[in-house]
Amino acid sequence: MTTTPFGQSTVLGYPRIGGNRELKKAVEAHWAGRIDAAELERTAARLRSEVWLTLRNADLDAIPSNTFSYYDHVLDTAVAVGAVPERFRRLGLSDLDTYFAMARGVDTEPALELTKWFDTNYHYLVPEIGPETVFAADPAKALQEYAEARALDLRTRPVLVGPATFLLLAKPSTPGYDPFDRLDDLVGAYADLLGALADAGVEWVQLDEPAYVADRVPAEIDALRETYARLGALDRRPQIFVATYFGDLGDALPALLDTPVEALGLDLVAGPGNLRRLAGSGPLRGRTIVAGLVDGHNVWRTDLTAAVTAGAVAYGLADHLAVSTSCSLLHVPVDLSVETYLDPALRERLAFARQKVDEVVLLSRALRDGTAHLPRPLPAPPATWHNTEVRARLAALSPTDRRRSDYPLRAAAQQERLQLPALPTTTIGSFPQTDALRRARAALRAGTLDAPGYDQVIRDEIARVIRFQEELGLDVLVHGEPERNDMVQYFGEQLDGFAATDHGWVQSYGSRCVRPPIIHGDVARRAPMTVAWSTYAQSLTPKPVKGMLTGPVTILAWSFVRTDQPLADTADQVALALRDECHDLEAAGISVIQVDEPALRETLPLRRADQKAYLDWAIDAFRLATSGIADHTQLHTHLCYSEFGEVITAIDALDADVTSIEASRSKMEILQDLQSIGYARGVGPGIWDIHSPRIPTQTELVTALRHAVSAVPAQRLWVNPDCGLKTRTYPEVQSTLKHLTAAATEVRNH
């Protein structure tokens, strides 16, 4: 085995989408048949070499590879270990088409499940592992990227998801099976991968084990130790760097130090306990510590002086130290330098991926040569970011501001006003974005359509959506959200304290990118944000139309949030703005208000010990936003994702009158779960999986509803899809909603 030093500065990964989302465009062009596989591959190779050259030119001396992906790095690792389920193999497609089939599904085969990557906004494809999975090393992609970089005269460090994390993220291909049982076999495949990399001259490999920053049982920690003891004992292998991120490693830290791995990566931003643990772990025996000092998960410039202090502690403990980002830079936008329109006072406080690389290099130098060359600290933020009025309002809040009256009182007042039938039908909010809408948006941007003209297009669309729902016979209508590009951005654009970027795209999943707003100052509402659209919609129909807001937790989850005050305080500021909006909607005659919190679950801290504090402030903020309304105004909330686990009691604590919830994939288990915690208000378990183009039959929906009625009385049971309809087409929506309303009628009449 070679023993080249690790290097002094690195990143755990870099955005792969390209500065102008070139990858998204190329991949989508390929899917649409506009470019062939060879052209797609050329674009990909160009993007990879651009990243490597960028990193080299920034003077980073340890550069990762195999961080590129056509869709997702977990899927890439699945391919690298041969974990391609038989249901995709038997399609007999090319490697690339098999890959995309797993990612997106084909007519006959649904895709792998997509789920959140830890507490980020990135989604990975869930490997399907069972007793039948035949692991076999397939190092082709890692070797090819390594060779491409070699051609640029770079020796890179291939990155793979580590075997333990890979299985902990996997789901069983057959119910009841535990994928982790396959660890032994999987490690065999990793051994072969490492052998192949070593044969190609690879000196370092990075194996990511972030699953160990969450609570793990002792057996899982032992398995981690055994895994790396075994890989470490191989005589034909590169040096191993185990990277961890998103939090404290806890007991897994000493376990990894028991093994021969040559380098260990620790997140010193999200895992402040890691340093303490490291200090208590005894001699590091020639090991390299890769100190994640630059936050890869947020957009703020690093406080370099503080980072040098933390880095110096780590340096004192380790024989070798490399400075790194806390996690892959995948989670931040590519380059701040193209944001020419940002407020300069904000801009100077930000660092995107490219700037964070410079920070890593600066820090690494400062740790060795002293801090003389560090830039001066930032001046205080501009006074205009501070809102005295909002702060005074927050300081004056009392617990009663977060409490509505008892549910039975509310329920009676609402029923008297709304006169809803049993099994009321509704949808979650958005309707499909039509071509006419997209054209109007483009024309507005291009300046060929003026604001009044655009507003007219939106009004026409709302009128159409209302008529459409009336024809279908839905009971509680929505306006369809045609004016919203995105459910967070829409509010961010109208609130003080938020800034939008022009090019700050971040990969969310596959070719989908999002542009999260940045919350930098005190949040305040300048004017009503949704009232005009909602009241217009309501004016067109005697049926109730839901006012539609995004909740404080989701607004924070899908933004980059300031770190100079507790998240709870920022959440409460957003909540106050929403509270005022609720008030105005109500005053304008809106009788049902829905406040969506699809992200409640996703920002749940990874460690149980931190979850209560999070849920406390999250629930408090939601209740602050929503409890200013009268008893006779019906409050709905909508939550995505069906596996709620720890947050199930939080659903009750939100105290909404009606909770619509993703459930069609979990076969309604959620109803039992809700019942077990004593939830006794309205609930709408989604009976149509809107993530799939499949149109459910009326019979199927009737079966689902009958099943649901056995768990929840019909008076409290709502009939609705899983989520918003914006990703579906009108023909799909029309057929399904027809089945849905007919199914409700059928079950109502027994």
Q: Which residue is nearest to ligand GLN (CB)?
A: 724
Q: Which long-range contacts (CB under 8 A, 24 or more apart) does 656-659 make?
A: 656/595, 656/626, 656/681, 656/682, 657/407, 657/410, 657/411, 657/414, 657/681, 657/682, 658/634, 658/682, 658/683, 658/684, 658/718, 659/683, 659/684
Both tokens of 652, joined, read: 């009750």
Question: What H or E segment, with its residue span, contains residue 472?
Answer: helix 451-472
We find the least distance from the C-beta atom of residue 114 to Zn ion, in angstroms, to be: 14
23 is in an annotated binding site: yes
Contact status: 429 vs Zn ion (CB under 5 A): no
Say which entry of Zn ion, ligand GLN, none residue 158 contacts (CB below 5 to 8 A, set by partner kind).
Answer: none
Q: Are 14 and 353 in contact (CB under 8 A)?
A: yes
Closest CA to 293 of 245, 332, 315, 325: 325
Q: Which long-range contacts (CB under 8 A, 24 or more apart) does 394-400 make?
A: 394/569, 394/572, 394/573, 394/576, 397/572, 397/624
602 is in an annotated binding site: yes
By rule CB under 5 A, what count of residues binds Zn ion?
Answer: 3
Helix 730-748 vs helix 698-709: crossing angle, to nearest 10 = 50
277 is in an annotated binding site: no
376 is in an annotated binding site: no
Q: What is the CA radius of gyration of the chain?
A: 26
The smaller minimum CB distance to ligand GLN, of residues 265 and 482, is found at 482
Which of 19, 139, 598, 686 contacts ligand GLN by CB under 6 A? 598
Task: Determine the interface stretch with ligand GLN among 236-244, 298-306, 329-337, 722-730 (rule: CB under 6 A).
Answer: 722-730
The smaller minimum CB distance to ligand GLN, of residues 640 and 704, is found at 640
Note if 331 is an active site residue. no
Instruction: Determine the Cα–Cα distance for residues 713 and 299; give it in Å rounded to an integer.
Output: 47
The smaller minimum CB distance to ligand GLN, of residues 429 and 517, is found at 429
We find the least distance from the C-beta atom of residue 618 to ligand GLN, in angstroms, to be: 16
327 is in an annotated binding site: no
Q: Are 465 and 534 in contact (CB under 8 A)?
A: no
| Neighbouring residues of 171: CB distance < 8 A, sequence distance ≥ 6 | 113, 126, 127, 128, 129, 179
By rule CB under 6 A, what count of residues binds ligand GLN?
Answer: 13
We find the least distance from the C-beta atom of residue 665 to ligand GLN, in angstroms, to be: 15
The smaller minimum CB distance to Zn ion, of residues 517 and 721, is found at 721
416 is in an annotated binding site: no
430 is in an annotated binding site: yes
Instruction: Determine the Cα–Cα distance for residues 550 and 625; give it in Å rounded to an integer.
Output: 10
Task: Determine the interface stretch with Zn ion among 143-151, 369-377, 492-500, 638-646 (rule: CB under 5 A).
Answer: 638-646
Q: Residue 610 half-sphere exposure, CB side, CA atoms within 13 Å? A: 13
Contact status: 474 vs ligand GLN (CB under 6 A): no
The smaller minimum CB distance to ligand GLN, of residues 292 and 429, is found at 429
Chain centroid, CA 436 distance in Å: 29
Which of 142, 202, 723, 740 contacts Zn ion by CB under 5 A? 723
Closest CA to 547 of 510, 514, 521, 584: 584
Task: Determine the interface stretch with Zn ion among 160-168, 402-410, 632-640, 695-703 (rule: CB under 5 A).
Answer: 632-640
Residues 179-208, mask of contacts with Zn ion (x by CB under 5 A):
------------------------------
Both tokens of 51, joined, read: 């990243």
Task: Determine the interface stretch with ligand GLN among 70-78, 246-254, 422-430, 620-628 (rule: CB under 6 A).
Answer: 422-430
| Neighbouring residues of 18: CB distance < 8 A, sequence distance ≥ 6 | 24, 47, 50, 334
Which of 73, 525, 638, 681 contacts ligand GLN by CB under 6 A? 638
Footprint on residues 187-206 left by ligand GLN (CB under 6 A)? none
The smaller minimum CB distance to ligand GLN, of residues 324 and 469, is found at 469
Contact status: 74 vs ligand GLN (CB under 6 A): no
Task: Determine the interface stretch with ligand GLN among 261-269, 319-327, 496-504, 720-728 (rule: CB under 6 A).
Answer: 720-728
Task: Determine the interface stretch with ligand GLN among 438-446, 583-591, 672-680, 718-726 (rule: CB under 6 A).
Answer: 718-726
Contact status: 640 vs Zn ion (CB under 5 A): yes
Residues 482-501, mask of contacts with ligand GLN (x by CB under 6 A):
-----x--------------
Say which entry of Zn ion, ligand GLN, none residue 548 contacts (CB below 5 to 8 A, set by partner kind).
Answer: ligand GLN
48 is in an annotated binding site: no
Instruction: Determine the Cα–Cα distance for residues 707 and 458; give it in Å rounded to an integer.
Output: 39
Closest CA to 49 of 146, 143, 142: 146
Helix 451-472 vs helix 435-446: crossing angle, to nearest 10 = 170
Which of 724, 732, 743, 744 contacts ligand GLN by CB under 6 A? 724
Strands (E), 526-576: 546-550, 560-561
Closest CA to 24 of 515, 516, 512, 514: 512
Q: Which residue is nearest to Zn ion (CB)?
A: 723
Instruction: Determine the Cα–Cα distance for residues 340 and 358; give it in Å rounded to an integer.
Output: 19
Pairing of strands 506-509, 512-514: antiparallel
| Neighbouring residues of 243: CB distance < 8 A, sequence distance ≥ 6 | 12, 159, 206, 207, 208, 209, 210, 265, 290
We find the least distance from the C-beta atom of residue 73 to ligand GLN, in angstroms, to be: 24
Instruction: Determine the Cα–Cα distance for residues 581 and 256; give it in Å rounded to an integer.
Output: 51
Which neighbouring-strand residues pair with 172?
A: 129
Say which entry of ligand GLN, Zn ion, none residue 429 contacts (CB below 5 to 8 A, set by partner kind).
Answer: ligand GLN
Q: Terminus-to-terminus CA distance in the chain, angstroms?
A: 73
We find the least distance from the C-beta atom of residue 428 to ligand GLN, in angstroms, to be: 4
Estimate the share of the chain in helix, then strand, then coil, as percent rounded to the nearest 5: 45, 15, 40
Say which entry of ligand GLN, Zn ion, none residue 525 contacts (CB below 5 to 8 A, set by partner kind).
Answer: none
The smaller minimum CB distance to ligand GLN, of residues 271 and 551, is found at 551
Contact status: 430 vs ligand GLN (CB under 6 A): yes
The smaller minimum CB distance to ligand GLN, of residues 429 and 696, is found at 429
We find the least distance from the C-beta atom of residue 724 to ligand GLN, in angstroms, to be: 2
The smaller minimum CB distance to Zn ion, of residues 263 and 557, is found at 557
Contact status: 596 vs ligand GLN (CB under 6 A): yes
Contact status: 428 vs ligand GLN (CB under 6 A): yes
Contact status: 723 vs ligand GLN (CB under 6 A): yes
Catalytic residue among 297, 520, 636, 691: 691
Q: Are 574 and 555 in contact (CB under 8 A)?
A: yes
Which of 129, 310, 318, 548 contacts ligand GLN by CB under 6 A? 548
Task: Determine the interface stretch with ligand GLN among 235-243, 442-450, 582-590, 723-731 (rule: CB under 6 A).
Answer: 723-731
| Residue 293 three-state SS | strand
Distances (CA, A) of 400 to 120, 193, 479, 595: 33, 60, 32, 20
Nearest 5 degrees, angle CA 287-CA 289-CA 290?
Answer: 140
Which residues are annotated binding-site positions for L-homocysteine? 428-430, 481, 596
Which residues are annotated binding-site positions? 21-24, 116, 121, 428-430, 481, 512-513, 558, 596, 602, 638, 640, 662, 723
Which residues are annotated binding-site positions for L-methionine? 428-430, 481, 596
User: Which residues of the chain form contacts with ligand GLN (CB under 6 A)?
Assistant: 428-430, 481, 487, 548, 596, 598, 638, 640, 723-724, 726
Which sequence positions are flagged as catalytic? 691
